[in-house]
């Protein structure tokens, strides 16, 4: 891909930190086209709205996707590009910002958290609900605080060595976050994991909640992802035709089964038989609750017992976004059933509770 690079040297003589911004698109940089729909534009137009950026004590490099997109267009290939850019420039910067649309930000954050193994520097995703050119836009505070967090260190060590989402004055663990609001500035929630930092007059970090890394272990890029997965969301009166059509999808390897409450599903014989037949063919089922808060507990109700018996794996308190990308990651790295089950049953990088 032919990226565009922009250097924004700091005008402050006290500059010690550096950050790499990867700009993929999203509302933050959108304008209205002739038919009044929002379309992404290049980073120069964002810069025009941020003349003060060079007064931060941070040297900034921006690498822009050649064609910034609405995040609905992003996919496994986009995540590979972003992860590759971070890996290739890892030693040159104190921290990294990914600017993209909010719609699929939680998927990107989750995917990056698995792909960037042993990450010891911050990767902060942010964007905006209103374009930066709008007078009430949230773009400016989101971007400026994200940059400050990305370069923050304590005793020479990054304060937040993980992939996170910064939005509306809160820093959240990326693979614990879901977009739950499309028309308010507080677009994201992390129902099952505490906020990593609150931003007010000062930035208050929740240090015990932030990942701690073993010093001296180098970063590793693992970009093997298998997209042959699906989300099967159950609902009352779901039909056998629908379930079977999904489970018979050619090449399908993994299913995020979105169940009710604490992991419950109907016990109709046809439903269990269809799932069992798919399990026998080697399709992996990962049970995730449709509820944002709380977790899957197999056996709590008899309606989840059968799922456990046929080999469905509990995703406990994982989000759908983290589960889909985790399935892609685990299935992309191994075909061994025991290893797959092991990886899915526990956290890889803080995306679910350890049980
Ligand atoms: N549709 C936009 C996107 O995800 C929404 C946003 O940026 O907030 O690219």
Q: Supply the DSSP string of 92-131, one letter for each residue.
A: G-SEEEEE--STTHHHHHHHHHHHEET--S-EEEE--SS-
Q: Global pTM?
A: 0.96
* Index of the ligand 1 atom closest to the CA of residue 27: 7
Q: How far is the CA of 48 from the centre of ligand 1 (A)?
A: 20
Atom of ligand 1 nearest to the CA of 128: 8
User: Closest Cα to atom 1, ligand 1: which residue?
Assistant: 70
Q: At what angle do helices 337-345 and 320-333 cross, to 10 degrees?
A: 150
Q: Which of 87, 74, 89 is nearest to 20 (CA)?
A: 89
Atom of ligand 1 lying closest to residue 129 CA: 8
Minimal CA–CA distance to 325: which of 107, 81, 13, 87? Answer: 107
Residue among 31, 65, 71, 142 to mutate when testing ligand 1 (max atoms within 8 A of CB): 71
- For ligand 1, atom 8: residue with the closest CA: 102
User: Which mutation among 39, 102, 166 tests ligand 1's pocket best, with the greatest number of atoms within 8 A of CB?
Assistant: 102
CA 303 to chain centroid: 30
Active site (annotated) includes residue 339: no
Q: Whose CA is nearest to atom 3 of ligand 1?
A: 101
**Residue 336 CB contacts under 8 Å (≥ 6 apart), including other chains:** none
What is the atom index within ligand 1 of the atom nearest the CA of 103? 4
Q: Tell me the DSSP string of 294-333.
A: S---TTSSHHHHHHHHHTPEE-TT--HHHHHHHHHHHHHH
Q: Whose CA is nearest to atom 7 of ligand 1?
A: 101
3-class secondary structure, 354: coil
User: How many CB atoms are closer than 10 A to CB 344?
Assistant: 23
For ligand 1, the distance from its centroid to the CA atom of residue 74, given in whole angstroms, is: 11
Concatenate the DSSP letters of all residues of 41-109 into one string.
--HHHHHHT-GGGGGSSEEEEEEEEEEEE-GGG--HHHHHHHHHHHHHTGGG-SEEEEE--STTHHHHH
Counting ligand 1 atoms within 8 A of each CB, the residue from 32, 37, 103 with the most, and so the one to mutate, is 103
Query: How far away, in angstroms, is 180 Cα from ligand 1 center?
Result: 13
* Burial class, 274, CB count within 10 angstroms (exposed 0-12 / middle 13-18 / buried 19+): middle
Closest CA to 219 of 174, 163, 173, 175: 163
Instruction: For residue 22, give the nearest of 80, 48, 61 by alpha carbon.
Output: 61
Contact between residue 352 and residue 315 where contact means Cβ atoms under 8 Å apart? yes
The pLDDT of residue 326: 98
- The pLDDT, as a whole number, for residue 329 is 98
DSSP 8-state class, residue 212 = -
CA–centroid distance, 337 to ligand 1, in Å, is 37
Atom of ligand 1 at shortest range from CA of 187: 8
pLDDT digit string (tens) for the chain, length 355 residues:
789 899 988 888 887 899 999 999 999 988 877 788 888 777 888 888 887 888 888 999 999 999 999 999 999 999 999 999 999 999 999 999 999 999 999 999 999 999 999 999 999 999 999 999 889 999 999 999 999 999 999 999 999 999 999 999 999 999 999 999 999 999 999 999 999 999 999 999 999 999 998 777 899 999 999 999 999 999 999 999 999 999 999 999 999 999 999 999 999 999 999 999 999 999 999 999 999 999 999 989 989 999 999 999 999 999 999 999 999 999 999 999 999 999 999 999 999 999 8
Residues contacting ligand 1 via CB (< 6 Å): 26-27, 70-72, 101-103, 127, 129
**Substitution candidate for ligand 1 out of 23, 25, 26 with most atoms within 8 A of CB:** 26
Q: What does the DSSP 8-state code read for residue 33?
A: -
Catalytic residue chosen out of the listed positions 15, 27, 249, 259: 27
Q: Which residues pair with 233 in a beta bridge?
A: 258
């Amino acid at each position: 891909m032919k990226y565009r690079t922009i250097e924004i040297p700091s005008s402050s003589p006290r500059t010690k930190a550096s950050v790499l911004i990867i700009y993929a698109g999203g509302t933050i940089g959108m304008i209205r086209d002739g038919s009044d729909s929002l379309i992404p534009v290049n980073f120069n137009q964002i810069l025009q709205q941020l003349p003060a950026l060079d007064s931060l004590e941070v040297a900034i490099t921006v690498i822009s996707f050649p064609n910034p997109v609405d995040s609905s267009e992003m996919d496994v290939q986009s995540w590979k590009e972003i992860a590759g850019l971070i890996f290739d420039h890892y030693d040159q910067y104190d921290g990294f910002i990914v600017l993209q649309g909010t719609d699929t930000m939680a998927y990107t954050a989750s995917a990056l958290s698995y792909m960037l193994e042993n990450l010891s520097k911050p990767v902060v995703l942010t964007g905006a609900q209103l374009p930066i050119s709008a007078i009430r836009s949230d773009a400016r505070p989101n971007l400026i605080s994200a940059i400050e967090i990305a370069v923050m260190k304590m005793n020479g060590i990054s304060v937040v060595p993980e992939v996170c989402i910064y939005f509306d004055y809160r820093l959240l663990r990326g693979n614990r976050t879901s977009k739950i609001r499309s028309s308010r500035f507080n677009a994201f929630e992390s129902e099952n994991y505490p906020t990593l930092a609150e931003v007010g007059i000062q930035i208050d970090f929740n240090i015990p909640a932030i990942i701690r890394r073993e010093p001296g272990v180098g970063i590793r890029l693992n970009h093997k992802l298998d997209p042959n997965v699906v989300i099967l969301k159950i609902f009352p009166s779901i039909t056998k035709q629908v379930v079977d059509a999904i489970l018979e999808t050619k090449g399908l390897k993994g299913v995020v089964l979105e169940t009710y409450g604490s992991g419950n599903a109907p016990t109709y014989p046809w439903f269990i038989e269809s799932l069992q037949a798919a399990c026998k063919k080697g399709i992996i089922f990962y049970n995730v609750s449709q509820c944002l808060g709380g977790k899957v507990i197999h056996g709590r109700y008899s309606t989840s017992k059968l799922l456990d018996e046929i080999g469905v794996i509990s995703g406990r308190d994982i989000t759908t976004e983290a589960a889909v990308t985790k399935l892609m990651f685990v299935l992309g790295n191994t075909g061994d059933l025991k290893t797959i089950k092991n990886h899915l049953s526990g956290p890889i990088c803080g995306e679910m509770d350890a049980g």
